[in-house]
Structure 1
Amino acid sequence: MASTTIPTARDPTRYDYSSSTGSPERNVQDELENDFFQQSANDSSTSIVDDGKETEDEDLKQFEDMKVSPTAYLPPELLFAIFGRLASPQDLQSCVFVCKSWARCAVELLWIRPYISKFKSLESLAKTIQMEQPSFPYASLIKRLNLTTLTETLNDGTVLALAACNRLERLTLTNCAQVTDTSIMRVLENNPKLLALDLSGLIDVTDLSMNVIAHNCKRLQGLNITECKKTTDASMVAVAAHCTHLKRLKLNECDQITNESVMAFTKYCPNLLELDLHKVNKITNQAVLDIFWKLSHLRELRLGHCDLLTDAAFTGIPNRPYESLRILDLTNCDKLTDDSVEHIVEIAPRLRNLVLAKCRLITDRAVTAITKLTKNLHYLHLGHCTQLTDQAIAQLIRSCNRIRYIDLACCQRLTDRSITQLATLPKLRRIGLVKCSNITDRSLMALVHSSRSHPCALERVHLSYCTNLTVDFNEHQRAVFCVFSGPGVAKLRNHLNHLSHTNGNLAPDQAYYDDREEQDTPLVDEEDDEDEEEEIQEE
């Protein structure tokens, strides 16, 4: 009598968690055999009588009659797709107890982006990933980590415990001001596959961390170091030279950054799509010209409060189309004139958002140029552009009838004529008219007027300090339209963000940064497609 040895469960170390899809590899046939023997009545051994043909036939028939669930044939990729549609973590936890293949997929989905809302949750996670013999390689499963809900309690000691993670792709530490280079460097050294990093508000982070990013995180696509004021050109040039896959870069309020850093990024990172230089006060015309000469695919550019810029920064831009540019913010670039606006519109005909707030030198001539954007223009901020008149606004409305948001705060030359025409915009959602002291009740009535053919679509109207308005609001209306300000508003925002995370909405880092497959996605977004469809229908 011969005996056969029963196949044992597969060694967990044989599963490869390093595949590009994040799915473990497995042998389907091995899984089926394991399931069969686990269902057998005697799972210690199986005897086959060599000299008894009838017994052998019966055993073979019994083997063939065993029914294997169709789900056993599903590859991990399909299980991931199915489990990813489950509404709650509790459902995924239930899947863990079905079988080994389900457990592997469910555990990976549960751990790929753990939600941490309390410090105790972080402590528990840190202890788990540091276990000597865990049931699953938890530290290697975590790919996205967002700790913005722990801004007041997070410090270097707790962040150091996360250095055990070695497959992080996204790390968000927004406003965790107690975190310094000591812990950041350790985490970065152990995660060379990092794609997105948000260190905004970490005021004690210095060039030491930036140099680790440069030499260890060469796959980085998104970097946000807003308010990291201790970083200098020395480290930023190194980041630019080594992290050549960067697509999104935020250097807001890094006031030691100069033209040298900006020009290094334009040289080594030609695929940049978004560049935010808000309040990087030391950059000059030379940096802006370099941006436009070398970053032909740029989608968003923010230069607010870069007060050294003059017309030469824009009139010298090469005369070629920048079809991808959608957002341009020039807030408080108060040396710019109509000449800059005319050239910008000429080279970027598909601009959707244009911010010229506090550019006090621009006149009606600039608005006339903006009308060439026609149906592409959705968002326009002209606050504090005090030289604008009704004639310019009337011309704007005739040409750009898809405006959703317009701000004309402190444009005190405007009268009811402008506002009544703005009220005819079919897609207008928000309008700012703060300190437009010449408008009267006639403007207000035009804005709220609604009919079957033209229903009122307004969501928000700012009318503070419009002294000629005489409409008397009752107590209920005052309560509804009241505007709140102060530190309590910031706390309420944080609380609402916390609730949105709890309900499973996208985390801020996921909304901002794209996955590695981003290179396959088109530059034109859904709103552009929608507008193109509307144009076809109109034709």
Structure 2
Amino acid sequence: MTLIYSLIEQNTAAQKVLLSPDVLFCISNYIDRQDDTFNCLFVNTVWTMVLVRQLWKSPIWKTAESYQKFLRTLRSRKPKFLYGNMVQRIIFKSHRCFESLPEFSSVDLKLISRKCPNIKHITISNQRQPFTVSNVTAMLSSTPNLISFTVSNCDNEWLHGALRPMREGLCPKLQHLEINDWNRNWGFDVLKDVGEKCRNITSLKLYQRVNKLEIARMIVKSFPNLQIFECKHINFAGLQGLLTGALKLKSLTSQFENDITDDAAETLSFAFAKLESLRIRIIHDIDYPKFSSSMSNYQSFLRHLHLATVHITDITVEKFAENCKFLESIEIYMCFHLTDNAIIALANHRNIHLKHLMIAYNARITDEGMKHIAINCKNLKTFIAMSCTKMTSSSFVNITRECKNLVEFTVRNYPWQTLASIVHTLSTRNKGTLKVFKAYDTGIRTNDNSFNLKLNAAALEKLAIRCPQIKSMVLRCRMQESDGSCLIRTLKKFQNLEELMICPPVKFTKSDIKQLEKHKRLKDITIIHGLTPEAESFLKERKNENKGGIYITVINNNNNQ
């Protein structure tokens, strides 16, 4: 950014070249933060005209005030730019899951529909006011460039009415349709109509059950270019109909029902398209050794595998690791019977090609298996471990010591002593590539202070120096730090930090909050049980006055402000 600011005062011919639009497009590829883009607006008028479009592509309303500012700008009679024409993505949902929605109105939707003709992506969280059938229909009718549409919590009547523009061919460019209906109380006829008019759809995600051959055949016939398909449940008939028709399928996500046995699944293994991603959930008491052995032989291009299958055994993972030569990402969730043998096979067969590993809720995988991952998978970029009771600090220290190019490291439900070991190892071994660090302890407060490594401000300062690229950090764990001001000063040394969740060891004061707000990058903070009464009052007053600044959420006894 120093170069960009210095350009403003430069007058030589060589330096003026850097201000041309052509060069700007090259430079902008290296600007990945919104605030940096905003600062570049002031270099010269040409840069302003180009970069303001990027800032307005996808507005985010973290507060009611920010939403009202957005509306006021759209209503402006003499704006400097046609801001509405720049908007491409609109998300009508709360910024965080535990917060209420901004107060949208029918008038707002009409204004957005009129002023923002180039919207390509729309997300709606529910069908309540003002997202009635008539309002959503009007909005979709005015978005001929729509590429993706996502809706949650809707019923059959709403879908039939609201999606009428799609059913009439008014959204010909639509590529992604996602219907997250928790009640699953709508018919598939609306899908048939949409698919027949929107032939470019390649991605379809449904919270529905595909349990009939006719339904599956209707889907593949109506969506001939389908590449990504997700549904809540699928039985053998549905899977059979889907696989025999979706020849372009690259990604499949679903939960197998009881009639998809190992033998039944094996008969379909050859029918699968050449997938790049396979996500399977299975809760019934069935293992799949035959299916995995046969299936893996046909899936030479598989890159991502997610298994949330309670009763599978080691052979399933072993076969996929052995035969899928491009496999680089695997997630193992609630696979209670997997042992070190599966992990060792994964380490041996995928070795340096493995980039992403997630293991959650397993009590049989031990430090021995993780040692092989650390030794063989040195190019690992992402590691996530949750509630694996046989893994000790040795597993995580080995991973952080040997995998020096980690970009994300997340551990959940481990003692604070283990988390301290992780922080200290990252602080000495990581090559500065880490961008996401999330640490959650078990929540059990012990008085054991005999551990020689502490998770305190000094340890975090070393992490900040070693890993300056950290953007997102969660410290929901016990820390051995008694000086709140010292901790605040340390947090400010994470120069690129944008999101922070923390459970402070001492309550932050009003002064601490003001110091934290001076961080140049920090945008979102969640503070759990960690404010003095004065600090809480300060944040409430600022919220009531609609003052700007960092977006701070306080959680106390399941209440937030």
Bucket of the pairwise TM-score, normalised by the shorter protein:
0.5 to 0.7
Q: Does residue 367 of structure 2 align to residue 390 of structure 1?
A: yes
TM-superposed CA distance for 1:210, in Å, is 2.3
Q: Does residue 437 of structure 2 align to residue 460 of structure 1?
A: yes
TM-superposed CA distance for 1:387, in Å, is 1.5
Q: Which structure's CA Rg is the greater one?
A: 1
Residue matched to 1:224: 205
TM-superposed CA distance for 1:343, in Å, is 0.5
Normalised TM-score (structure 2): 0.56
Q: Distance in 2 between matches of 1:221 and 1:274?
A: 10
Per-residue Cα deviation, 1:113-168 (whole angstroms, up to 9, x for no partner) = 47586542422466x59xxxxxxxx9xx7673514277643121223335645845
Per-residue Cα deviation, 1:377-403 (whole angstroms, up to 9, x for no partner) = 122122222122222211211100122
**Which residues of structure 1 form unaligned runs of 5+?**
1-81, 93-105, 130-137, 487-539
Residue matched to 1:426: 404
Residue matched to 1:411: 388
User: Which of 310, 315, 330 is 2:307 aligned to?
Assistant: 330
Q: Does residue 193 of structure 2 align to residue 212 of structure 1?
A: yes
User: Which of 110, 119, 126 is 1:123 aligned to?
Assistant: 110
Residue matched to 2:250: 273
Q: Distance in 2 between matches of 1:316 and 1:156?
A: 49
Q: Distance in 1 between matches of 2:123 and 2:181?
A: 13
Q: Does residue 338 of structure 2 align to residue 373 of structure 1?
A: no
Q: Distance in 2 between matches of 1:279 and 1:464?
A: 33
1:301–1:290 Cα change, 3 Å: farther
Per-residue Cα deviation, 1:397-437 (whole angstroms, up to 9, x for no partner) = 11001223323333333334323212212022444444446
Q: Distance in 2 between matches of 1:299 and 1:485?
A: 39
1:322–1:199 Cα change, 3 Å: same
| 2:56–2:83 contact (8 Å) kept in structure 1 | no
SS in 1 for 2:360: coil
| 1:146–1:172 contact (8 Å) kept in structure 2 | yes
Residue matched to 2:179: 199
Residue matched to 1:481: 502
| 1:285–1:308 contact (8 Å) kept in structure 2 | no
| 2:126–2:154 contact (8 Å) kept in structure 1 | no
1:191–1:431 Cα change, 3 Å: same
- After TM superposition, the structure 1 stretch with the greater mean CA deviation from structure 2, 196-205 or 348-357, is 196-205
- How many residue pairs align between the two structures? 375
SS in 2 for 1:87: helix
Aligned AA (1:421):
N
Q: Distance in 1 between matches of 2:324 and 2:438?
A: 29
TM-superposed CA distance for 1:358, in Å, is 1.6
1:198–1:485 Cα change, 3 Å: farther
1:415–1:229 Cα change, 3 Å: closer
Q: Does residue 247 of structure 2 align to residue 247 of structure 1?
A: no
1:86–1:281 Cα change, 3 Å: farther
Aligned AA (1:426):
K
| 1:330–1:356 contact (8 Å) kept in structure 2 | yes
Q: Distance in 2 between matches of 1:90 and 1:350?
A: 37
Q: How does 1:488-527 map to 2 (within 5 A)?
A: none
Q: How does 1:103-142 map to 2 (within 5 A)?
A: 110=85, 113=88, 115=90, 118=104, 119-124=106-111
1:308–1:169 Cα change, 3 Å: farther
Q: How does 1:427-446 map to 2 (within 5 A)?
A: 427-436=405-414, 443-444=421-422, 446=424
TM-superposed CA distance for 1:188, in Å, is 2.7
Higher share of residues assigned strand? 2
Aligned AA (2:338):
I
Q: Does residue 135 of structure 2 align to residue 158 of structure 1?
A: yes
Normalised TM-score (structure 1): 0.58
1:361–1:111 Cα change, 3 Å: same
- After TM superposition, the structure 1 stretch with the greater mean CA deviation from structure 2, 107-116 or 294-303, is 107-116
1:281–1:438 Cα change, 3 Å: farther
Q: Does residue 412 of structure 2 align to residue 447 of structure 1?
A: no
Q: Distance in 1 between matches of 2:425 and 2:287?
A: 37
Q: Distance in 2 between matches of 1:419 and 1:475?
A: 28
1:116–1:389 Cα change, 3 Å: closer
Q: Does residue 158 of structure 2 align to residue 180 of structure 1?
A: yes
| 2:276–2:302 contact (8 Å) kept in structure 1 | yes
1:376–1:108 Cα change, 3 Å: same
Q: Distance in 2 between matches of 1:83 and 1:235?
A: 51
Q: Distance in 1 between matches of 2:220 and 2:85?
A: 35
Q: Distance in 2 between matches of 1:347 and 1:243?
A: 30
Residue matched to 1:299: 276
1:481–1:474 Cα change, 3 Å: farther
**Which residues of structure 2 form unaligned runs of 5+?**
1-46, 58-80, 93-103, 455-479, 489-499, 504-525, 530-561
TM-superposed CA distance for 1:277, in Å, is 0.8
Q: Distance in 1 between matches of 2:335 and 2:162?
A: 40
1:420–1:112 Cα change, 3 Å: closer
Aligned AA (2:252):
L
| 1:382–1:408 contact (8 Å) kept in structure 2 | yes
Q: Distance in 1 between matches of 2:256 and 2:404?
A: 35
SS in 2 for 1:174: strand
Q: Does residue 176 of structure 2 align to residue 189 of structure 1?
A: no
Residue matched to 1:362: 338
Q: Distance in 2 between matches of 1:433 and 1:325?
A: 26
| 2:311–2:337 contact (8 Å) kept in structure 1 | yes
Residue matched to 2:319: 343
1:168–1:191 Cα change, 3 Å: farther
Residue matched to 1:399: 376
SS in 1 for 2:375: helix
Q: Distance in 1 between matches of 2:147 and 2:211?
A: 21
SS in 2 for 1:398: helix
Residue matched to 2:217: 237
| 1:205–1:231 contact (8 Å) kept in structure 2 | no
Q: Distance in 2 between matches of 1:345 and 1:116?
A: 39
TM-superposed CA distance for 1:177, in Å, is 2.8
